[in-house]
Amino acid sequence: MTRVAAAGEDKKFAVFGALDYASGRVTWHVSAQKGEQAFLAFLDHLAETLPADVPTIIVLDNVGYHKSHALRARWQALSHRFFPFWLPAYAPQLNLIERVWRFLKAKLSNHRWWNDLGRLREATQTLLDLLEVRFHTDDGPAFRLRQDFCSSA
């Protein structure tokens, strides 16, 4: 009998993100897992990051934890700042952030096998920091990576 070693434990982390359609900036938050508490932390991150005097429409899919009791209370508390816009069920093609996730996954997994979760997380954060997304212009690709000359020197 031959034993084949398993690849190891499946390790992962979750990235929550919001795309500012006007500026092309992606605001993101990394969490150990998906779920209600992680999304609450992301909403708090958005509340800290985005200007308080500018009402913001947040486009959301219909994943269950977006509408939990705790989230409904948080949406109510933030109703003067954030206006949730719920997309129809099973329509990821309508949510532009899904294109950002596809781009990110393609960049990170292109000819690469990550055996160090910390390095993958660091690469993900670096890529998101440099990412600029413009869907509404005709002057080139929708996804651009800003060069960070300080970190590349």
74-98: average pLDDT: 91
97 belongs to a structural domain:
yes
Please give the tally of structural domains in the chain: 1
pLDDT digits (tens, 9 = 90+) for 25-77: 899 999 999 999 999 999 999 999 999 998 999 999 988 888 899 999 999 99
CATH number at residue 51: 3.30.420.10
Dist. CA 72–CA 96, nearest whole Å? 23
* pTM of the entire predicted model: 0.81
Residue-wise pLDDT tens digits, 102-148 = 999 998 987 777 888 899 999 999 999 999 888 776 766 677 776 65
The CA–CA distances, whole Å, from 139 to 28, 98, 119, 129, 136 equal: 26, 22, 33, 22, 9
28 contacts 17 by C-beta, under 8 angstroms:
yes
Determine the Cα angle at 11 with ends 7 and 16, to 5°. 145
Residue 1 lies in a domain: no
Task: Note the helical H segments in 110-143.
Answer: 117-130
